[in-house]
Amino acid sequence: MDSTFPTPGHLPVKAHDPGTGIVALGLARSFGTVKAVESIDFIAAAGKVTALIGPNGSGKTTLLLMLASLLRPDSGSIRIQGIDPEQDARSVRAILGWMPDTLGVWESLTSREILTTVGSLYGLGKAHARARAAELLEMVELSVLADTPGRVLSRGQAQRLSLARALINDPQVLLLDEPASGLDPGARVQLRMLIRDLAASGKTVVISSHVLVELDEMADAAVFVSKGRTVRSQTLAEAGAQVRGYTIGVLDLPALRRFLESTSVAAVYQPNLENVGGTAKVKLPGESQATELLAALVREGVPVSAFAPSSGLLEETYLSLEGGTK
């Protein structure tokens, strides 16, 4: 494929080294009369983590299934590392790791047996499959449960096994559907580090998730979908540069109000009931303006006790889109 595509920020750049990442354009897929995916463009670069974000029922899983060659699109084109899954599903599956939102575990098999079995399905020899299974069990910290049956795994443990399963063939492209769901806070931090490492090693990583704050720390770019359509693509740097709500906490609200009014910054004020302090909510055009405002407040002696974005970067975009798509 060799043409120009809309990229995050909508800059028409030469999209692609055709050998890398994912390029899906104009995708549509219906189930009977339900248009699960109506018009989705999705680009994910190699070496980056791309978030797929959208409300329930917006078509994320349907899109991932098409990218994974498990579902045929009614129309549109897909290239995974330059390969068309409709023409060559086998080659796509060989380079792809798929972590579904819920893992069907073979209940009587142990975690080790599940991984070695999947390994042999990918054509790994017995010894290689066993070694790879041991390595992955170690990586997702399931070694102690390696020989207990799948049915006794907790939801979080099953999620970790699912991730290990998705990595068995050392895939170049990883599709993760809600990977953090069911994980405790410690396991979420580990997952985040693991995903960053996988991207740093050159893999194309796609994550569908509702936990937007977590994606802020994990993703390089995001594609927002709603009602089966792509409604926005942006990099995290672009998200950081957009208008954003900030909450300023002060010990002296009248002093803050005087300062903001003198500099024509509009705000919504919320006084404390028991003292002269309170909070103000403001909209600022970007992170550098936020830095400047904070510095000016400190310089002017306004007693600031808190200064923080009112929501996460991606959450800000999500909420603005939600408002516009309802």
Ligand X SMILES: Nc1ncnc2c1ncn2[C@@H]1O[C@H](COP(=O)(O)OP(=O)(O)OP(=O)(O)O)[C@@H](O)[C@H]1O
230 lines the binding site for ligand X (CB under 6 A): no
User: Of 139, 204, 126, which Cα lies nearest the Cα of 165?
Assistant: 139
User: Of 309, 326, 139, which Cα lies nearest the Cα of 239?
Assistant: 309
Query: Measured between alpha carbons, how far is 188 from 14 in angstroms, rounded to an integer?
Result: 36
33 vs 264, beta carbon nearer ligand X? 33
To 10 degrees, the CA torsion angle through 74, 80, 85, 90?
-160
65 vs 255, beta carbon nearer ligand X? 65
Q: Which amino acid belongs to residue 7?
A: T
- 128-147 residues near ligand X, rule: CB under 6 A: none
41 vs 142, beta carbon nearer ligand X? 41
Q: Which of 1, 13, 34, 295 binds ligand X (CB under 6 A)?
A: 34
Please state the closest distance from residue 226 (CB atom) to ligand X, in A: 9
Query: Measured between alpha carbons, how far is 101 from 179 in angstroms, rounded to an integer?
Result: 7
Q: Which two tokens stand for residue 218?
A: 């994990």
15 vs 65, beta carbon nearer ligand X? 65
- 47-86 residues near ligand X, rule: CB under 6 A: 54, 56-62
**Contact pattern for ligand X over residues 269 through 288, marking x by CB under 6 A:** --------------------
Please state the closest distance from residue 321 (CB atom) to ligand X, in A: 14
User: What SS3 state is found at 175?
Assistant: strand
CB contact set of 130 (below 8 Å; sequence gap of 6+)? 112, 116, 119
Q: Which of 22, 28, 36, 129 binds ligand X (CB under 6 A)?
A: 36
58 vs 169, beta carbon nearer ligand X? 58
Q: Give me the residue label for tokens 């390994």.
A: 119
179 lines the binding site for ligand X (CB under 6 A): no
Query: Measured between alpha carbons, how far is 244 from 30 in angstroms, rounded to an integer?
Result: 36
Residues that bind ligand X (CB under 6 A): 31, 34, 36, 54, 56-62
